[in-house]
Amino acid sequence: MIDDISLRLLRIPLHTPYKLAFGPVSHFDTILVHVVSDGRRGAGEATILTGYTDETISDSWARALEMAKALPGISCEAAKSAIANDLKSAPFTATAFTTAIEMLERHPALQVENPVPIPLLAGINAVDNDGIAHEIEKAVAAGFETLKIKVGFDVERDLERVRFIQRCNAGRARLRIDANQGYDRDDGCRFAADVNPEDIELLEQPCHADDWESLEAVSKICCVPLMLDESIYSETEIRRAALIGAAFVKLKLMKCVSLTRLESELALIRELGMEPVLGNGVASDIGCWMEACVAHRHIRNAGEMNGFLRPSKPLCHPPLHVESGALQLYPDSEPQLDEGALDEVTVQSAQFDRTSQMIEAAT
């Protein structure tokens, strides 16, 4: 039986803007859900970002309030069913609730039996040559073996920047190129045909998520493996990715609603002859930790669950630990959220008990 649900809407400042093809991100807008049932506690999150989801911050918060009001006093199974039905069109918001319940239920995907490192990638965000060279040296020295490069801005400049990175990298790390839907068909094909494949692991999402014809055109001429990300929301899109010749498919927990479905879709990707990639660079501590737990059983490449490294201050105490380019997981070490750190970034909050009444609210 769910006894209590509390919500926080967080505005989390980043120490450095995260540059994407659809604009720089200076902060995360995150909905944090806490669920209490029979003395057990669980937390889940959803970071709402235009371009990653059609959900908006204001609508997600309003729907989260309605959902939180409806759940106290019912069973966890009934709650998960209600979330799946009422938030079907809002997968990010639904994920915050469902994964909080799965955490308190001690979902098998979150259980870590032995200490395990989860390799992460490092992003190269600088645009000037000196800054790029410095970031590469810093990342390699810290033990990162995969670097991520954002393109999708201007084809010629993107190609020039990638060539410079390849020279600086000199074969030391794999390079993951992400266009974040930034190209139309012509520019996507041009980049895919002209990029030097040296050290490049894959090219991610060159064209708009819904433009499958352009993605297929790029796939046919691409000189490096193609990965889809923003196009993927369900098994239907995973199967379609296989049909157009994608080699990789990336999943994010926030798009899958539950840990159970995430594991199922990761298995499907491999069954269809593709390689799964997992992780969200636009997520905070709870979401990244959950993805890392899943990754240690299902993923054999660098994880993208590095969003927790972007905020100015960690939300957990102690912070999630990164060593030698890997997030270190330990048995029985669920992240402990720092209430003081949360208070500093909370924009709105609310709490509901089993009477379905709001017992606390703040702005």
Q: Are 213 and 240 in contact (CB under 8 A)?
A: no
Domains assigned to the chain:
2-106+339-362 (3.30.390.10), 116-329 (3.20.20.120)
Q: Are 124 and 148 in contact (CB under 8 A)?
A: yes
Compute the average pLDDT of residues 291-302.
97
What does the DSSP 8-state code read for residue 320?
A: P
pTM over 0.85? The answer is yes
204-235 in b/e form (b: 16+ CB < 10 A) is: bbbbbbebbebbbbbbeebebbbbbbbbbbee
Compute the average pLDDT of residues 311-331.
95
Higher pLDDT, 261 or 354: 261
Give per-residue pLDDT as tens, 77-93: 999 999 999 999 999 99
- Asked whether the predicted pLDDT for residue 363 surpasses 60, the reply is no
DSSP codes, 36-48 = EETTEEEEEEEE-
Give per-residue pLDDT as tens, 54-79: 899 999 999 999 999 999 999 999 99
Confidence tier at 166 by pLDDT (50, 70, 90) = very high
Res 254: pLDDT: 95
Higher pLDDT, 70 or 51: 70
Res 362: pLDDT: 59
Alpha-carbon gap, residue 26 to 37, rounded angstroms: 35
Confidence tier at 22 by pLDDT (50, 70, 90) = low
Cα–Cα distances in angstroms (integers) from residue 79 to residues 5, 42, 64, 109, in the given order:
12, 14, 13, 20
Angle of helix 185-194 relative to helix 212-221, nearest 10 degrees? 20
Confidence tier at 281 by pLDDT (50, 70, 90) = very high
Give per-residue pLDDT as tens, 306-315: 999 999 999 9
Mean pLDDT of the chain: 95
Say how many C-beta atoms besides its own lie within 10 A of residue 300's C-beta: 10
Res 51: pLDDT: 72
Res 54: pLDDT: 87
- Asked whether the predicted pLDDT for residue 18 surpasses 80, the reply is no
